[in-house]
Amino acid sequence: MKTLHIAVLITNLFFISSHSQNAFELTIQRQLSSKVCTMGYLVADGEVLCYTLELPWADNLNNISCVPAGRYAGILRYDKSDKWRIQLENVPNRTGVQIHIGNYTSEIKGCVLVGKEAQIEHCSVQNSSQAYLKIKKAFYGSDTPSSTPNKPIFVTFK
């Protein structure tokens, strides 16, 4: 009986260890918050991938506030316009929160935009498509992936 418990424990530890190693962990490190916008960096594996742009904090009101600080699970969402995006799950009192392509706060409804460059004075990000390609490469591990890896996605907002 002790052998069975040890085998189950070892199996569970192996699953937890291998499962967490495969996770795609992103961190949004906010650097600037004003009445107009919130700006920061998106980091994966210790590397800054791009700038981020969000709306300012507005008591977590749907479509008009930045995402509350915390850690959220993400899923891949596919659609026809830009094909691939990360959608966050279980954001308190919110639905449809995504990390996606865009340049200006006028294009945000509670989501996060990414850009290769940022203009603090205009609260905008530029070259959003290039920034998103960098995120996709970090997720897939390649510029030309042949399949989608089966790994969980987590995004931490600081």
Using alpha carbons, list the distances in angstroms from residue 52 to 5, 6, 143.
47, 46, 22
Higher-confidence position of 83 and 23: 23
pLDDT at 142: 84
- Using a 10 angstrom Cβ sphere, with 0-12 exposed, 13-18 middle and 19 or more buried, the burial of residue 50 is buried
pTM score, whole prediction? 0.84
**pLDDT, tens digit, 9 for 90 and up, residues 96-105:** 999 999 999 9
Run of H or E residues at 132 = helix 128-140
Higher-confidence position of 143 and 136: 136
Tokens (6 digits) for 134: 């960098």
Separation CA 116–CA 52 (nearest Å)? 9
Separation CA 103–CA 114 (nearest Å)? 8
Q: Is the pLDDT of residue 146 over 90?
A: no
Tokens (6 digits) for 34: 């004003």
Q: What is the set of domains in the chain, with CATH numbers?
A: 23-157 (2.40.440)
